[in-house]
Amino acid sequence: MADICERSNISAEGVSAFLELLKRSMEPFSKRFSVNENGVTRYYAVERRGIGILKTEHGKFWQYNFAIDDQWEKYSVMVKAELNKDLLVPVFKNKDQLVLRTDSGCETSQVFGDLTCECRDQLHLALKAIEEVGEGMLINIPRQDGRGMGLTFKLATLWIQDVLGVNTVESASLLAPGGVIDIRTYSGVICILKFFGIPTTCRINLATNNPKKADVFAENGYTVADYIPVVIEPNEHTKLHLQAKQDHLGHKGLIKKGDKNESE
């Protein structure tokens, strides 16, 4: 203990108190919230399961591990902020506005580096934007692969794209039951805002190219005041993918006119 105290410049009493705090942070802590989405109101159990510090290439962030009793279950929340006196809840200096990114998980790109998708680059660009602002939050939903259709579905669509040369929307439509290719929900994002005590008076600066992600905020009394583009320059691997998302899914600003001509 003496060696630890010397290296950390913290007293033995301080180290003991810190370890007790860490033990509390590892204990599940639950709350329940009601959320409206697509005209339906439902109560959710929200459980914080842990918190720690990540030193990323974009700066230092707190990572929270959450579980919510919806179809996605796991939520990983990256937070740039000071913490409260108990060191368990973020306290944002700007009470009026919050930079927020809702980030759907994409194992193929974010973990394994698939070149046909820009999700990994979007994740890092969003973290960089939050670091530049000085505070904000990114909520990653790991199990929303393939726009919520699942990793098995996503892998099959990538195989189709490689063999048939079709885009992401066409490949998904060939396999999706009833032609529905996006089943993601975002009630869990509202749950986390409520868990952290973010009031509806706090205006959201939403880091996204997909305006449809704003709907759930409006349904729950939050205002999306601005959109922060998370646009990755298209390349030979992503042009077809980005063009399809812009043309068929309503994403904004992904392909400029010059880029479009090159991809056609």
Q: In 116-252, which ranges are E strands?
A: 136-141, 203-207, 224-228
Give the per-residue pLDDT at 30: 97
Question: What torsion do the CA atoms of 217, 140, 240, 168 make, to the nearest 10 degrees?
Answer: -80
**Beta carbons of 69 and 62 less than 8 angstroms apart:** no
pLDDT at 260 over 80: no
Q: Going by DSSP bridges, is the β-strand pair 40-56/59-68 parallel, antiparallel, or unpaired?
A: antiparallel
Give the pLDDT mean for 106-120.
Answer: 96
The answer, yes or no, to whether residue 104 has pLDDT greater than 50, is yes
Q: Label residue 182 by pLDDT band (50, 70, 90).
A: very high
For 97, phi then psi, to 5°, come to -140, 145
Question: Does residue 262 have a pLDDT over 50?
Answer: no
Report how far residue 176's alpha carbon sits from residue 160's, in angstroms, rounded to the nearest whole number: 13
Over the Cα atoms of the chain, what is R_g? 20
* Catalytic entry in 182, 203, 247, 259: 182
Largest CA distance in the chain: 67
Summarize the confidence of residues 112-138 as an average pLDDT.
96
Contact by Cβ (8 Å): 241, 160: no
Length of the chain: 264
- The encoded tokens of residue 77 equal 């929340």
- Rounded Cα–Cα distance for residues 223 and 238 (Å): 32
CA distance 166 to 106: 20
User: Would you say residue 40 has pLDDT above 60?
Assistant: yes
- 49, 143, 184, 203: the catalytic one is 184
Supply the pLDDT for residue 259.
54
- Residue 264's pLDDT is 34
pLDDT above 70: residue 111? yes
Average pLDDT, rounded, for the chain:
93
Q: Residue 257: its pLDDT value, please? A: 62
Among candidates 262, 246, 118, which has minimal Cα distance to 254? Answer: 246
- When pLDDT is averaged across residues 36-53 and rounded to a whole number, the result is 97
Residue appearing with tokens 């929303």: 144
Residue 80 has pLDDT above 50, yes or no: yes
Q: What is the mean pLDDT of residues 187-206?
A: 97
Q: What is the reported pLDDT for 258? A: 57
More confident position, 245 or 185: 185
pTM of the model: 0.93
Per-residue DSSP letters for 214-260? GHHHHHTT--EEEEE-------TTTHHHHHHHHHHH---SSS-HHHH
pLDDT in tens, 26-39: 999 999 999 999 99
> In the annotation, is 147 catalytic?
no
Q: What is the pLDDT of residue 206?
A: 97
Closest to 173 in 3D by CA, of 146, 152, 151, 212? 146
Which domains does the chain show, CATH number per domain? 25-144+184-232 (3.40.50.10990)
Is residue 226 scored above 90 in pLDDT? yes
Torsion of CA 95, 222, 230, 181, to 10 degrees: 150
Among this protein's residues, is 184 annotated catalytic? yes
Q: What is the pLDDT of residue 228?
A: 95
Residues above pLDDT 70, as percent of the chain: 96
